[in-house]
Every structure is written in structure tokens, then in C-alpha cells.
Structure 1
Amino acid sequence: MEASNLHWTKQRVTFRFCPQCGTKLQSDFKFCPSCGKKIPCSADPSEREGTSAPTNISPSKVDEACKDSIDSQDSTEVRGKARLLPPVEQGEKSDKATVDIATGSSPKSKALSKAKKPKHTVALETLENGTEMTDMTGRKWTVMQLLSQSMTEFVYQVVEKGSKKSSSSESSYILKMGAKDGRIFNEQNFLQRAARPSSVKKWIKQQNMDLLGIPSCAGFGFYTDSYRFLIFSSIGQSLPSVMQDKLLPEKTVLHLTCRLLDVLHYIHSNEYVHCDVKAENIYILSGQATQVYLVGYSHAFRYCPSGQHVEYSEGRRALPEGSLDFISLDAHKGVAQSRRSDLQSLGYCMLHWHTGVLPWSTLTNPDKVAALKQRYMDDVPALLSHCFGQKRDSSAFLSYLTAVANLQYTEQPNYSELRAKLSAALSQLSGHLDEPLVF
């Protein structure tokens, strides 16, 4: 028994790191000696033995102290299929739409899969129409219909009970529900810490803006002992549903990018990065097509706690799930994502929305995708040449992607300059940010 305990202690010392700054920790540390952040609690014994398990923590398995850790969800959860595979399985293809890069074949990704064990999940069950939910302030909400679902979350249309406009779309809200201590826990913490309505309103006034596309959280609460939910004002349709598989004109892409840069500037200034910039997390408000929202903060990461930027270190963090086409090079390398990561992902989105092409879009091996991304970020003109083909490429795209490629890990982007150049290019195409988007 003593030998077994000693072996486990060594494993904990070898592979345990602070989820905030990446400092190596001893097994009995409760706070990080470098950044002072509380260390999340370990999960149940099956994780220590490397057994396969789905993602997220079951509430019955979580110590109450873990609920106070705002950053623990940032770096310790990966998709459930990221289990410890024997070497013969490491080369198998990943899910192209949403992948866990930790199943890649490189030695670095193998080490990461050992360092970050999968967590347990709660099997989500759909709610019937008419189900009533009560948030933490006592407001009651009635479920109207299921809008979308994934393996980890459900999204419903809801109305506030007793509202005089209960049958009107004006009173429609969105309810997002997931496992109580899953990724939605991280999103709630981000919204409460960095995206309070008063803070957003103050930023809009300071920056002399007309709007800022961060969804307003109207409330949150719990349903049974297993689920957590967030309530948002309705923000229209997702970008893919608006695009309907069509390519976007350059003018529209420039317009979208300017609006999204505004959002990224705000969240970066509040010590967070989004970490999952893609079309599915962009919404356009129906009837007001100038209002662009960036949603989906379940992977938001606090890159600069208390004003101190996390250090660059490859292979120290678990690689996040996400779309293989759009995740940043830092994400591929297991580096804690920084401001340049979000801007890089946005650049990939720009190219895809306008040309429908990315050099790595037919690949499923994460290491090969990473190699191509590195090659083309070192040669941005070649990247545009590949994506645009025989068409004339965009000088605005070239300027943006070159600036992003030259950013250092801890460097603060010049958001005003990036936006000014994109806005100027938009004006040359007879477009304006006050006009509705053209799809």
C-alpha cells in the first residue's frame, strides 16, 4: 500500500500544474506559490488510473471548494473522447467538425493527454415545452421550444412568466443549459467577472461606440441538482444560418471583422481571451443587421490575471476542443492562448467566409494542420494566393493577417489601427459600419 501511495504521489508531482500560470505543483498544494490562485480539486480515482471517461465533472464528484475556482475550468477540461489511447490508436482520424487535438500523434500531444485526464459528465436530458425554471433572483421562466443542442449544452427559447408580452417575440429570451459544473460554469464566471452590463455600458461610453456585441445575461440558476442555466436576451440568428452555405462579399467580411474586433478589444482589456472564435459563435440580430454579437464564452481563459501575462510554455496546457480549421497555432502547441490567438482565429474565419478555402481544410491530422498553419503564417502572401486562387486577393486581408502574424505572444495588438485599416477598406468598397450587413 505504501509503495502504491508513493507511486501516485510521484505521478501527481510529475503531471500537476497550476491551471492559471502553469507552474509545476506538489500534490498537497492548495494554492499556487507563483500566482496565488486556488488549485482545483482532483476528480475521482478513475481519472488517476487513466481510464476513459466523458468530459466535465459530475456534481456528485466535486468538492464544494472547487466551485469557488474561477479558472479551474479554463485549463483542465477536454472533450470526452480525449482518453489515453494505446500507441496503435494514436494515428486515427479526428472528428473534423469538433476535435480534441490531444488525440494527435505527436509526442507532445501524447504527453498532454497524460497530463490532463478526462472528466466525468452528466447525461443531459431535454426539457419539455412548458417547463418552468426559476433563476437565483426568483424570476420564473417558461420553456417554449428547443432551439439547438450539442453533447454538452441545450439552448431553448424561453419567456418570463407573467410578462404582459409573453406571446410576443419582444419578450423572448434564450436559456442555455449544461451540466452544473461543466463548461457553462466557466461561462457564468466570465460573464459575472468581465461582462457585467454596467461594465459594458461604461466601455461603450468611453470608446464613443454605438454598440458592443456582448450578449446581456439576464439571469442564471440551477435546475435539479445536475444542471446550471444562463438566461440571455434574444440576439437573432447564428452566422451560419444567415449565410446558408454562401460565401460572403469582402465588404461584409470587413464589416463583421470590425465589429468582432470591438468585442475582442473589450474582453482582452478585461484580462480574458475568447479561445473559440468561429461562425457558430457569431450572431446577427434579426431586423437590425448592424448588430453583431460574439457568444460562446465557455472556453474563455484569463490570460492576464491581476495584470500579469501568463508565460509562454509549449506542451504545458491541455489542448482545447474546437474547430480544427480555426484554432490558433498556440492552441496546437499546447500554449495558454493569448490575444494574438483570438486575432489569428478571426483571420482564418475571414478567409473562409470570403473564399470558402483554407489550405488545411481537407486534413484531419492535427499535426499536419499545425504544420501548414505555421508555414502559411510565415508566408502570408502565399496563404492568400492559395485561398483566393485565380481571383485578385484582398489588400485589407493581407494587411490584417500580416499584422497578426507579426504579433509577439505577450504583445498588445493595436486594435485601433487594425480596425481603422479595415474600416478604410470597407469605405473604398462603398460600405459603412452604420449600414446593414449584406448577405
Structure 2
Amino acid sequence: MELRIGNKFRLGRKIGSGAFGEIYLGTDVQSNEDVAIKFESVKTVHPQLAYESRIYRVLQSGNGIPNMKWYGKFSLKTVLMLADQMINRLEFIHSKSFLHRDIKPDNFLMSKAGKSDFGLARKYRDSSSYRHIPYRENKSLTGTPAYASLNTHLGIEQSRRDDVESLGYILMYFLKGSLPWKGLKAGNKKQKYDKISEKKVSTSIETLCEGHPIEFATYIHYCRSLRFDDKPDYAYLKRLFRDLFIREGFQFDFVFDWTVLKLPAITMPKPSTLCKCTLLILSTF
């Protein structure tokens, strides 16, 4: 299963990062052409992508110049449409008695598909008896620290609650373009994991979600309230975001921010709803 950007670009592995942001390998699902997808936080001191996109517009069609596919920011509408699909995908995975255990943007393709890369997946219950795995402590961290749940950092055996909490951090990353514990420096991997854990514990949910609809804080609070063997109320979580979607007056038409490039008559969301993550999509060669 995959998650796609606008049902057009398949998001693959991260191939680069630095002070400017992050670069992911992508694929145009229609032409099968490789693309580079650049993410840049709007908090960066010296933003580059807006300037870079203007250069590409001028240089388009030149030999050896990458072809710019799309440039823009995530909108609230886009994040809410993605949230609905991502919760559906997790519900399906869990219904088959599996945990993903490595929920992160790299492992989704954004749009009508779903999840990819199940290398760390494992069963959390017996498929016949539905008996849940036992609660354990002192477990090593499995997954990607930036999106790992608090309990995972604390060494507690993962269950369904951890997958849905990780998804909450992805949604905030899409909205903000960064997370408070991203980019921390440390001498080694263990020290970095510890720093991420400390920052995550010390950052309140309200601070993490500040400036964004309260539904995102409500989502993370709910995930953290779940007990080890609780089944998440997926319908409630989807309803949270669907009700917000309706109140905002959006239409669930699968028209994402990047889809608008091919549909110029469609009005972009008002500035107040723009999310703080800048994207630039280029053909790689």
C-alpha cells in the first residue's frame, strides 16, 4: 500500500538533508519518471525554495536543467484529506492483526493509495484467538525516533496506540514543516535518541499544535490516553477531522495543493489556511 502526493507523485526514501530542509526521491505515477521532492520549513532563516522555483521557471526547457513539476505549501484542506486516508490505512493494517511500528512520511504515498515498507511490522495479536501480545518494558526503540510515540521512547512494547500517535506527529510535521525535536545535534545515535525523547516529553501538546485547529491537539491527547491493549476509535478520529473539514467549507474532491497546477481555474485556499511546509517537485534529470 502507498501514500501519494496528489495521486500523482509517489513519495520514496529520503535522499538528502541539510540546513535547507529535506529531499525525497519520488516517482511520477503516470510517466514513471523519477522526481526529487524538496521540503523546506518556513521557519528557516534563509528560505531557498521560493527563489529556486523562480529560477527554474526562467530556465525551463534548457538542456541539463531540471523540469519543475510543482511548487507550493501544504494547505489545511490537503492535510485533512491525507489524515482521513492515513487513518483508514492504519485501521486496515490493524484489522489484519499487524502493527506498522515505523510510521513516517517516507513510508506513505500521498493520496488514494496507502502505506509502503512493512520491514518493521509485526503481529500484535493472534489471528485466530485475537489474543493480544503481553505488555513489556525495557524494549529497544524500533522505528524512526522523530515520529515515535512517547511510550516507545520509554521502552514500552508497541501496540496500536503507538501507530496512531506517530501519525499525529506526521500531521503536525505536514502542518508546521518541522517538529521541535527535529535537527537536534548529538555525539552519537543513543545521545540523539535521548535528546529527542527529552524534547518530546518536555513539549506540551498545546505547544506542539499551537496556531493550528484544536482538533490536532485533541487527536494526540486521545492517542496518549489509550491503554496498551486498547483498540483506537478510528471512527472518532476520522470524525474529528471530517467535522473540521466541513466547518472549513472544503470539498472532499481529492484536489490537493499540487493538483491545482493542472487546474488553474480552481481557487487556492485562503492564506490563513496555508500550512507551513514548502514543497518543490522537480524531474531529477
Q: TM-score, normalised by structure 2?
A: 0.61
Specify the alignment match of 1:381 in structure 2.
206
1:264 aligns with 2:77: no
Larger Rg: 1
Which structure's relative contact order is higher, taking Cα pairs within 8 Å and 6+ residues apart?
A: 2
How many residue pairs align between the two structures? 198
- CA shift at 1:248, angstroms? 1.6
1:283 aligns with 2:105: no
Query: 1:345 is matched with which residue: 143, 166, 172?
Result: 166
- CA shift at 1:267, angstroms? 0.8
- CA shift at 1:148, angstroms? 7.0
Q: Hey, what's the Cα distance between the residues in 1 that align with 2:96 and 2:234?
A: 14
1:295 aligns with 2:116: yes
Contact 1:303–1:336 (8 Å) recurs in 2: no
Give the 3 Å change call, closer, same or farther, for CA 275–367 of structure 1 in structure 2. same
Q: Hey, what's the Cα distance between the residues in 2 that align with 1:412 and 1:237?
A: 39
Amino acid in the other structure paired with 1:427? I
Q: TM-score, normalised by structure 1?
A: 0.41
1:314 aligns with 2:137: yes
Q: Hey, what's the Cα distance between the residues in 1 that align with 2:14 and 2:180?
A: 30
Q: Hey, what's the Cα distance between the residues in 2 that align with 1:297 and 1:412?
A: 21
Query: 2:212 is matched with which residue: 379, 393, 396?
Result: 393
Contact 1:272–1:301 (8 Å) recurs in 2: yes
Amino acid in the other structure paired with 1:382? T
Contact 2:141–2:152 (8 Å) recurs in 1: yes
Q: Percent identity?
A: 26
1:372 aligns with 2:217: no
Q: Which runs of 5+ in 2 are unaligned?
A: 1-11, 16-24, 41-71, 186-191, 259-285
Query: 1:358 is matched with which residue: 179, 190, 193?
Result: 179
Equivalent residue of 1:275, what SS?
Answer: coil
Contact 1:247–1:353 (8 Å) recurs in 2: no
Query: 2:75 is matched with which residue: 220, 244, 249?
Result: 249
Q: Hey, what's the Cα distance between the residues in 1 that align with 2:196 and 2:227?
A: 21
Contact 2:103–2:144 (8 Å) recurs in 1: no
Q: Hey, what's the Cα distance between the residues in 1 that align with 2:14 and 2:217?
A: 37
Give the 3 Å change call, closer, same or farther, for CA 398–270 of structure 1 in structure 2. same
- CA shift at 1:319, angstroms? 2.5
CA RMSD across the alignment: 3.1
Give the 3 Å change call, closer, same or farther, for CA 276–249 of structure 1 in structure 2. same
Contact 2:97–2:125 (8 Å) recurs in 1: yes
- Superposed, 1:22-421 pairs within 5 Å as 241=37, 244-245=39-40, 247-284=73-110, 290-306=111-127, 307-315=130-138, 317-320=139-142, 322-364=143-185, 365-376=192-203, 379-385=204-210, 392-421=211-240
